[in-house]
A and B are shown apart, each in its own frame.
Chain A
Amino acid sequence: MSLRDNLIRGTGPRVLIRAWHQQETLAKGAARAQRLLGGRASVEFYFAFDSPYSAAALAPLIEIARKRRGELQAFVVGKHGIQGDPDADMRKAYEVLDAGRLLRRQGKSLSRTKPLAASEVRELTLLAEAARRAGKGNDFAAAALKKLWCEDGDGAPQLADYEALYSEVIGKAPGGALNKLSSAVSDNEKRLDRKGHWEVPTALVGGQWFFAHERLEQIDAWLGELGW
């Protein structure tokens, strides 16, 4: 086997793992410094409304952030996943089955049996971005995901219902220029990509990425290791 081959198959991954361990040590130091300066833990969360996993992730993540006195920022995206994924349709169908089981772990249940297309939740996505800009993004996103995946039946969401939810959470009706927020949602997608991930629901915590729906305990444990 060539030197290059050995590098790719063995040495390279081993070096990466060592580098990540060092990064963890640095992250703990950085967290200590942050606390001394009165800072809080930061959880950067990316989600999408066509992802039932997002419904399983956000509410418990909000609780974890609250428990750790951290700041959770939830960014909504429209496009996510790997372009050209030949298994995309199978993934979407499986997600509904699997998210139902994950919610069952939390004592909750999924009300939908079929996947949603990104096009069916486009306006809801823009509402969520508007809510984030109004300072209540987490609350709206959690309420909307719960309604969409744990209360509504199959079929496209009714925008009027979610506009009413928006008014209830934000305290005023959404503005008329929602379409102008498309570029903001696109910025969220670019941010996710730039920071090194491709999918949702994902959380960036202390320099580490986690698939939030299936790593809630690990996120909590990592925040604990960081001293929060």
Chain B
Amino acid sequence: MSEKPQVEFFFSFRSPYSYLAAERAFALADKWDIELIYQGVRPMVTRGVPLPSSKKFYILRDAEREARRLSIPFGNMHDPLGEGALRCLRVGELAKDQGRERAFVTRTARAIWSEAADVTRDEVLRPLCEGAGLAWDECREALKSEALLQRCEQNIERLRSYGQWGVPTFVFKGEPFWGQDRIEDLERVLEDAGVARR
């Protein structure tokens, strides 16, 4: 078990805000002496959360505005809701076991949200896996694994135990920070807590 302070990063492949947060989230461990723990979760709508049209449109428009402001490629998308997201979650857990979650999550999220990658297709997912240093045979096995998906269900319970429901969410010493636009507040708290910078 790591002795370093831990920051949990709850993430969904279906969340454009999670995508916008991802590079900066993993980069926190480059900047601060922390362990960044990736926690993949299923999309909100598959958890029974109502999503009216006004909210769908707002999220898409605001995410696109934020992406422009942050100079992050965005817009040429292929929504992975359903099987696509579940496949990525399973491979994400495999990647986490092999210490390759940063490479897989950031690359795959970019592909979904800016390269129209349909991750339900093996010919699309395979190069993303291999590009992250994962063996495709192992990924194919992971795609069938209920145990890996069950870990993501446990992540949802863990997220809710912090009084949270949405992604991306960061948690440091039990304090949640929801949103790709709360990283500065998280960093202020890391500073106040005396976490060393690298």
A residues bordering B, Cβ < 8 Å? Answer: 1, 8-10, 13-14, 16-17, 20, 82-87, 90-91, 93-94, 97-98, 101-102, 104-105, 193, 196-198, 208-211, 214-215, 218, 221
Q: Chain A residues with Cβ under 8 A from B178's Cβ? A: 94, 98
- Whether A198 touches B76, Cβ cut-off 8 Å, given contacts A1-B118, A9-B81, A94-B176, is no
- Whether A14 touches B77, Cβ cut-off 8 Å, given contacts A94-B178, A98-B178, is yes
A1 & B120 in contact (Cβ 8 Å cutoff): yes
Tell me how many residues of B have a C-beta within 8 Å of chain A.
39
Interface string of B51-87 (1 = CB under 8 A from A): 0101101101110110001000001111111000000
* CB closest chain-A residue, reference B47: A86
B79 & A86 in contact (Cβ 8 Å cutoff): no
Chosen A-B contacts, 10 in total, with CB atoms closer than 8 Å, are: A9-B118, A13-B77, A85-B49, A94-B178, A98-B177, A101-B182, A104-B185, A197-B54, A209-B62, A221-B69
* CB closest chain-B residue, reference A199: B55
A14 & B58 in contact (Cβ 8 Å cutoff): no
A91 & B77 in contact (Cβ 8 Å cutoff): no
B50 & A90 in contact (Cβ 8 Å cutoff): no
Choose from B76, B80, B116, B164 the contact partner of A94 (Cβ within 8 Å).
B164
B79 & A13 in contact (Cβ 8 Å cutoff): yes
CB distance from A97 to the nearest CB of B (A): 8
Q: Tell me if B165 is interfacial: C-beta within 8 Å of chain A.
A: yes
Q: Chain A residues with Cβ under 8 A from B177's Cβ? A: 98, 101
- Whether A10 touches B61, Cβ cut-off 8 Å, given contacts A82-B50, A82-B52, A197-B54, is no
CB distance from A100 to the nearest CB of B (A): 10
Q: Tell me if B5 is interfacial: C-beta within 8 Å of chain A.
A: no
A196 & B185 in contact (Cβ 8 Å cutoff): no
Q: Chain B residues with Cβ under 8 A from A16's Cβ? A: 57, 60-61
